[in-house]
Structure 1
Amino acid sequence: MTITTAPIDNGVNVEALLGARAAFAETPEIAQFQWRSSVTWENGTHSRSEVESFYGFADEQVHHTSFTLDADHPLQFAAQDNGPTPVEYVLVGLGSCLTAGVAAVAQQREIQLHSVKATLSADMDLHGILGADPEVRNGFSGVKVDYEIQADASEAEIQAIVAQSQKRSAVFDIVTNPTDVTVTVV
């Protein structure tokens, strides 16, 4: 009896990622990237963001399409609810980055994923952003990420995949470490 195993396919081209890592080691300057978005105020608290190009691999790059994202505040804040709030986009970015990492790490470790769902929640006291209490932070006081992962792997292997994803996540780093931000009017 011959037993064949199907190749692991989580939809991540690990060879390309490892090839990029090797190219970055040989030519470090091509690893310098600049991510961009432009945000235009629409009305009230509604804004529209566009993402279409970035700099990387020592040249200007363009996405295959321009992405448009709306942000607003909910009706409960006397707004029009034209899109997620900016803080919800932070959660989307964090969850998306960590989840992409889970898929990439699982692929590299030859672990077949069947389903991955991250549920994120963040606590915030609005006294801060409303200026009602100067002692209250404007941002999140904490963020929680809960994963439900079905995979051909042990619980320990799944925990290791999530830990490695967290270790390599750009957005996790941005959220958990101070980042210099310069704001100017031109």
Structure 2
Amino acid sequence: MSESENVLPVEVEADRETPTKSTVTARSFELVIDEPEDMGGQDDGPNPLEYLLAGQAGCLNVTASQVAKDMDLALEDLEIEISGEFDVETFQTEQPDDHTGVRNIEVRMDIEADADQETLEEFGERVEKRCPVSNNIAEATDIGLTVERS
């Protein structure tokens, strides 16, 4: 199997509806992204940072299922809570000197499984290490941005 057969393309397209609202297409799904009213939006959907954390939660679920399978661990239930902090002032600064994204991300996984605490801790370490979205958040990822006239 060639390397290209192991690579899954991930693509989305977005259309601007208003200064705060976008409609994003991912495969055959349409997502609405908007800011809350106190940030100038109409609150028609989650904001981009909420989608980021939602994506992390979904990815942690998939990764946890795979890790549980690899560890032969019967995962009966999993609830994930993720929180962080966003510094609006840093975002609104013309030339920010600080991190403009979500800071201090805390993940809590409540797990129902027939396993002792040591096994659950190992499970958590493996999940954290293998989750692609968590990896993208924690590690620098090259981004190429091109602006073209339409």
How high is the TM-score relative to the length of structure 1? 0.74
Q: Pick the structure with greater CA Rg.
A: 1
Q: Is the 8 A contact 1:127 1:133 kept in 2?
A: no
- Aligned pairs for 1:143-154 within 5 A: 143-154=105-116
The residue that corresponds to 1:169 in the other structure is 131
Question: 65, 72, 77: which one pairs with 1:110?
Answer: 72
Question: Which structure 1 segments of 5+ residues have no match?
Answer: 1-25, 53-65
CA displacement at 1:28 relative to structure 2: 2.5
Q: Is the 8 A contact 2:15 2:22 kept in 1?
A: yes
Sequence identity (%): 26
What are the Cα deviations for residues 36-85 of structure 1, in whole angstroms up to 9, with x where unaligned? 00011112301010011xxxxxxxxxxxxx11111000011231001101
Question: Which structure 2 segments of 5+ residues have no match?
Answer: none
Alpha-carbon distance between aligned partners in 1 of 2:127 and 2:79, rounded to the nearest angstrom? 14
CA displacement at 1:150 relative to structure 2: 1.0
Q: Is the 8 A contact 2:21 2:35 kept in 1?
A: yes
The residue that corresponds to 1:43 in the other structure is 18
Q: Which amino acid aligns with 1:157?
A: T
Alpha-carbon distance between aligned partners in 1 of 2:33 and 2:129, rounded to the nearest angstrom? 29
Q: Which amino acid aligns with 1:89?
A: Y
Alpha-carbon distance between aligned partners in 2 of 1:46 and 1:172, rounded to the nearest angstrom? 25
CA displacement at 1:133 relative to structure 2: 7.9
CA displacement at 1:108 relative to structure 2: 2.5
Greater strand share, 1 or 2? 1
What are the Cα deviations for residues 137-174 of structure 1, in whole angstroms up to 9, with x where unaligned? 31122211011111111111111112111111111111
The residue that corresponds to 1:129 in the other structure is 91
Root-mean-square deviation (Å):
1.7
- The list of structure 1 runs, each at least 4 consecutive aligned residues, that deviate by more than 6 angstroms after superposition, is none
CA displacement at 1:132 relative to structure 2: 7.4
The residue that corresponds to 2:55 in the other structure is 93
Q: Is the 8 A contact 2:20 2:40 kept in 1?
A: no
Alpha-carbon distance between aligned partners in 2 of 1:78 and 1:171, rounded to the nearest angstrom? 28
